[in-house]
Structure 1
């Protein structure tokens, strides 16, 4: 009889984004079930159990979720529980410990509390400490994040990294350069060949550094004429639109605040990706862009300092520092040859270190070592 694994996630969207290849590999050797906190359908053939889990702190709902997880784990007697995301990690690691599941594995992919202050930061940080306390094993998706968690006394010596980092690597069958699509997209958005296209692709919120990005490009547009900014992704904070309204009316800005479900296509429009985040676990979008030979300018923070090799596969700037951002972006504009050089380097690094099948094999081997003892 196959040993039984349960993967727990607050939302199916995260499983679809990062866990599909992992699930396919694990299914070949184990009986795999996925517990989801919402109704988003999965893009993989696997058993699914719905147990409502919400991202925000809601004591009554969280107690209900914990109780249902306890009952389900007790009934199914899994050999290993693997959790991703903070809330699903907290509730599933507590539940799995209480019912005596031997292998309890949580995957850290970033910390919401890293940029918070006061009581809320203390509470969220304590929740991560509880996750670690209730787990038997911990994975972290970047070495710099692991060092950060250790320095904050959240993580002990049990933390491990798969290969060179990232939660799932890049599927280069989907993320690959397409010159014909690039030309079509440039034509669609009326971008001429001589213009440099900077692209932000991801959730639009304060922690992603969008406010500083707006101020940076308002300055750049006054200095340079052949520069475009493409801003794409769901608007998570409606107040941001008002704060960056001057940017949005600029003729050199293209924006779309809907959910982008084809990043592997739209990234072909970019010459260089921008990611001025205040916090990132690793920055998967960086290596996805790299697979298309698109380098990244990003903040010098834990996570991005793993996904970007400064001056080789991209450029790191001081976090939340508009002056340094303008300086680094200007240097790229004045030295366009750097874009191609760094793009080629980034592409080679993905092929060497971040292919999704190598990450899935690494996770499979990691779980084999734990579960088959």
Structure 2
């Protein structure tokens, strides 16, 4: 008989963005239930996942009444279905499902840490969010972390223990689909044509949610500082304006608006990566730089901040350039190096793609997760705290 496993996430976007390949493989080996706040009943079937979708009313913001309702909902499902194990991803899903699973007596409770929002917070809210992560780790029997530097940070902060936590393969939550993310010269030409740019232009790409924690204002300031001496450079932002920062970016780059480009959310990030020459992620916090290794697979080197999570994704001086977070002058210097030298970009790009192929393929990460789950669920246990 197949062992039963529940995957709990806050929203179906997490499934679509990170978990599909994992769930396809898990659904073949386990009796799988996916729990998420969604009304899309065809989600799993459309993605080729063999399993059952169970809608649950988990909301992302802190809301005591809604959170209590969702926790009771999860507890009811767990008690009724007697899962052999549960896996949670994202903080709210982790807190509610680890608590409900603990109370329901689920023997294997695994939470996946993919970054800490409290790192850039201050005051009481930082302490509340940090306590929530510590509580998740205490309630869980096992902890997965998507980068080794993040794991060491969590150990140093007293959130998790070394014995209870581990990183799958070389890190990342899902690895890279190498059939999708690969060099694509046709896409490069197509996107550049849409932007009215030619092959002599050097495109600096940021791809993701535009918010202050991603360092997008630092990137705009760095570009403005070097634009005069780097006339071939263009700055491209691709992603939703979550922090309402587009106008701020335009004001910072007011003298170079003709070299500033914006594209809203795209379902085809690989096409914009193929068009780019340098990938930029001057973030203040990341669990792991998934977009960096996706860009690397396409053959694009990175300039990124030297923070935990990103130091796992970028090898400084080999696959890209790291700079101190919030240091616009260092970011500017890194950009200038790669703008000035096509040869340097190509050298880093080849090394970056080779590293992703060898260490971060989605097949490798999925295989590591399956091995991990098989080992943990073989004997129902309570792991040492």
TM-score, structure 2 normalization: 0.94
* Contact 1:105–1:138 (8 Å) recurs in 2: yes
Q: Quick one: distance in 2 between partners of 1:4 and 1:166? A: 25
Deviation at 1:334, TM superposition (A): 2.2
Q: Quick one: distance in 2 between partners of 1:39 and 1:126? A: 31
CA offset digits 1:63-100 (Å, max 9, x no partner): 00011011111001100000000000000000000010
Deviation at 1:332, TM superposition (A): 1.6
Aligned with 1:274: secondary structure? strand
Deviation at 1:38, TM superposition (A): 3.0
Deviation at 1:47, TM superposition (A): 1.1
Deviation at 1:303, TM superposition (A): 0.2
User: Which residue of structure 1 lines up, in the alignment, with residue 185 of structure 2?
Assistant: 179
Deviation at 1:142, TM superposition (A): 0.2
Q: Quick one: distance in 2 between partners of 1:341 and 1:98? A: 54
Runs of 4+ in 1 over 4 A off after TM superposition: none
User: Which residue of structure 1 lines up, in the alignment, with residue 32 of structure 2?
Assistant: 32
* Contact 2:71–2:100 (8 Å) recurs in 1: yes
Deviation larger for 42-51 or 344-353: 42-51
Q: Quick one: distance in 1 between partners of 2:350 and 2:166? A: 29
Deviation at 1:15, TM superposition (A): 1.0
* Contact 2:274–2:299 (8 Å) recurs in 1: no
* 1:155-170 correspondence runs (5 A): 155-157=160-162, 158-170=164-176
Q: Quick one: distance in 2 between partners of 1:48 and 1:334? A: 51
Q: Quick one: distance in 2 between partners of 1:265 and 1:223? A: 28
Q: Quick one: distance in 1 between partners of 2:191 and 2:218? A: 27
Q: Quick one: distance in 1 between partners of 2:268 and 2:186? A: 16
* 1:279 is the counterpart of 2:281: no
* 1:253-332 correspondence runs (5 A): 253-256=260-263, 258-332=264-338
Q: Quick one: distance in 2 between partners of 1:263 and 1:329? A: 21
* 1:186-225 correspondence runs (5 A): 186-225=192-231
* 1:245 is the counterpart of 2:250: yes
Paired positions, count: 371
CA offset digits 1:331-372 (Å, max 9, x no partner): 222222111100000000011000101110100000000101
* 1:92 is the counterpart of 2:89: no
Aligned with 1:222: secondary structure? coil
User: Which residue of structure 1 lines up, in the alignment, with residue 159 of structure 2?
Assistant: 154
Deviation at 1:24, TM superposition (A): 1.2
Q: Quick one: distance in 1 between partners of 2:325 and 2:16? A: 30
User: Which residue of structure 1 lines up, in the alignment, with residue 19 of structure 2?
Assistant: 19
* 1:4 is the counterpart of 2:4: yes
TM-align CA RMSD? 1.2
Deviation at 1:44, TM superposition (A): 3.6
CA offset digits 1:21-80 (Å, max 9, x no partner): 111111121100100023353434331000111111001100000110111110011000
Deviation at 1:16, TM superposition (A): 1.0
Q: Quick one: distance in 2 between partners of 1:213 and 1:90? A: 34
* Contact 2:175–2:290 (8 Å) recurs in 1: yes
User: Per the alignment, do residues 205 and 180 of structure 1 end up closer, same or farther by CA in structure 2, a change over 3 Å counting?
Assistant: same
Deviation at 1:326, TM superposition (A): 1.0
Deviation at 1:190, TM superposition (A): 1.4
Q: Quick one: distance in 2 between partners of 1:244 and 1:254? A: 11
Q: Quick one: distance in 1 between partners of 2:171 and 2:226? A: 33
Deviation at 1:193, TM superposition (A): 1.5
Deviation at 1:254, TM superposition (A): 1.1
Among candidates 66, 75, 79, match of residue 80 of structure 2: 75
CA offset digits 1:148-193 (Å, max 9, x no partner): 1011111112110001100010011111111122112212211122
User: Which residue of structure 2 lines up, in the alignment, with residue 117 of structure 1?
Assistant: 122
Q: Quick one: distance in 2 between partners of 1:112 and 1:259? A: 22
Q: Quick one: distance in 2 between partners of 1:176 and 1:331? A: 24
Q: Quick one: distance in 2 between partners of 1:241 and 1:334? A: 27
Q: Quick one: distance in 2 between partners of 1:57 and 1:181? A: 41
* Contact 2:278–2:338 (8 Å) recurs in 1: no
Q: Quick one: distance in 2 between partners of 1:102 and 1:273? A: 43
Deviation larger for 302-311 or 18-27: 18-27
